[in-house]
Homo-oligomer: A and B are copies of this chain.
Amino acid sequence: MRAAFGAVVCLGLAACASVEVAPAPASKDAAGSVAYGLVKSLTTEVGPRLAGTKAEAAARDWAVRTLKGLKFSRVTVEPFAFDAWERGAASARIVGPGQAQELAVVALGRSVSTPARGITAPVAFVASFDDLLAAPPNAYAGKIVFINDRMVRAKDGAGYGPAVRKRGKGAVEAAKRGALAVVIRSVGTDHDRLPHTGQMRYEKGVRKIPAAAVSAPDADQIERLHDMGLTVRLHLTLRARDVPKAPSGNVVADIVGREKPEEIVLLGAHLDSWDLGTGAIDDAAGVGIVVAAALRAAGSDLAPKRTIRVVLFGAEEVGVVGGEAFAKAHAGEAKSYAAAMEADFGTGAVWHFRTKVAENDLAFFDAIGRALAPLGIERGANDSTGGADVEPLAKLGVPIVSLGQDGTHYFDLHHTANDTFDKIDPVALEQCVEAYARAVRMIANR
**What are 11 A-B pairs at a CB distance below 8 A?**
A13-B228, A47-B101, A47-B221, A54-B99, A55-B99, A55-B100, A192-B192, A193-B277, A193-B416, A193-B417, A224-B421
Chain B residues with Cβ below 8 Å from A58 are 98-99
CB neighbors of B among A40-60 (8 A): 40, 44-49, 54-55, 58
A322-351 to B contact mask, C-beta < 8 Å, 1/0: 000000000000000000000000000000
| Chain B: CB-nearest residue to A58 | B99
State how many copies of this chain the complex holds. 2
Chain B residues with Cβ below 8 Å from A69 are none
Chain B residues with Cβ below 8 Å from A237 are none
A228 x B20 contact (CB < 8 A) = yes
A422 x B216 contact (CB < 8 A) = yes
Q: How far is the CA of A46 from the CA of B20 in the complex (A)?
A: 49
Q: How far is the CA of A13 from the CA of B100 in the complex (A)?
A: 13
A230 x B13 contact (CB < 8 A) = yes
The 8 closest A-B pairs by CB, nearest first: A217-B420, A193-B417, A47-B101, A44-B224, A55-B99, A14-B228, A191-B422, A13-B98
Q: How far is the CA of A420 from the CA of B191 in the complex (A)?
A: 9
B220 x A421 contact (CB < 8 A) = yes
A278: CB under 8 A from chain B? yes
B14 x A230 contact (CB < 8 A) = yes
Least CB distance from A194 to B in Å reads: 6
- Given A44-B221, A58-B98, A98-B47, A193-B418 contact (CB < 8 Å): yes
A1: CB under 8 A from chain B? no
Chain B residues with Cβ below 8 Å from A278 are 101, 221
Chain B residues with Cβ below 8 Å from A191 are 420, 422-423
A48 x B98 contact (CB < 8 A) = no
A104: CB under 8 A from chain B? yes
A189-227 to B contact mask, C-beta < 8 Å, 1/0: 001111000000000000000000000110011001101
A161: CB under 8 A from chain B? no
Least CB distance from A408 to B in Å reads: 17
Least CB distance from A303 to B in Å reads: 33
Least CB distance from A146 to B in Å reads: 16
| Chain B: CB-nearest residue to A194 | B193
CB neighbors of B among A115-162 (8 A): none
A46 x B98 contact (CB < 8 A) = yes
Least CB distance from A57 to B in Å reads: 10
Interface contacts beyond A13-B230, A48-B102: sample of 10 additional A-B pairs, CB < 8 Å, sorted by A = A11-B228, A13-B225, A44-B228, A46-B98, A47-B221, A191-B420, A192-B194, A193-B418, A194-B194, A216-B422
A17 x B217 contact (CB < 8 A) = no
| Chain B: CB-nearest residue to A222 | B44
A12: CB under 8 A from chain B? yes
Least CB distance from A193 to B in Å reads: 4
CB neighbors of B among A181-195 (8 A): 191-194
A23-53 to B contact mask, C-beta < 8 Å, 1/0: 0000000000000000010001111110000
A97: CB under 8 A from chain B? yes
